[in-house]
Amino acid sequence: EVQLVESGGGLVKPGGSLRLSCAASGFTFSSYSMNWVRQAPGKGLEWVSSISSSSSYIYYADSVKGRFTISRDNAKNSLYLQMNSLRAEDTAVYYCARVVATMVRGVINYYFDYWGQGTLVTVSS
């Protein structure tokens, strides 16, 4: 059974740092790109960052670029998000999600098939 379990959330002051982890099990972690998606309280979903299976390709949303760093350890089946210079607007539930690439009607399609339960990050003084 595929499982993604996030941890590391909590209360942090503005300007502070936090490191989120996502422990994966039930699949070959090293074969999949992974993403972080966040959801501010009462708001919609926001894509945050993506990392390819071998960490060769890394991307960030403009809202976190230069402050957040995504990484992974395939030997430990783990995904990470290092968050620095945190702001009040970073307050959200952070989800890790697996990306699948599959052929549909002769074209590669992507989708997020498994998500963790989320971890809450609260940035407040």
Partner 1 sequence: DIQLTQSPSFLSASVGDRVTITCRASQGISSYLAWYQQKPGKAPKLLIYAASTLQSGVPSRFSGSGSGTEFTLTISSLQPEDFATYYCQQLNSYPRFTFGPGTKVDIK
Residues that bind partner 1 (CB under 8 A): 33, 35, 37, 44-47, 50, 57, 59, 61, 95, 99, 102, 104-105, 107, 109-113, 115-118
In sequence order, what are the residues at sequence separation of 6 or more whose Cβ sits closer than 8 angstroms to the Cβ of residue 106?
A: none
Q: CB of residue 87 vs partner 1: minimum separation in angstroms?
A: 21
Q: Is 112 helix (H, G, I), strand (E, B) or coil?
A: strand
Nearer to partner 1, 16 or 71 (CB): 71
Instruction: Name the token pair of 39.
Output: 């959801």
Q: First-to-last CA distance in the chain? A: 40
Nearer to partner 1, 28 or 117 (CB): 117
Q: CB of residue 59 vs partner 1: minimum separation in angstroms?
A: 5
Q: CB of residue 45 vs partner 1: minimum separation in angstroms?
A: 4
47, 34 contact by CB (below 8 A): no
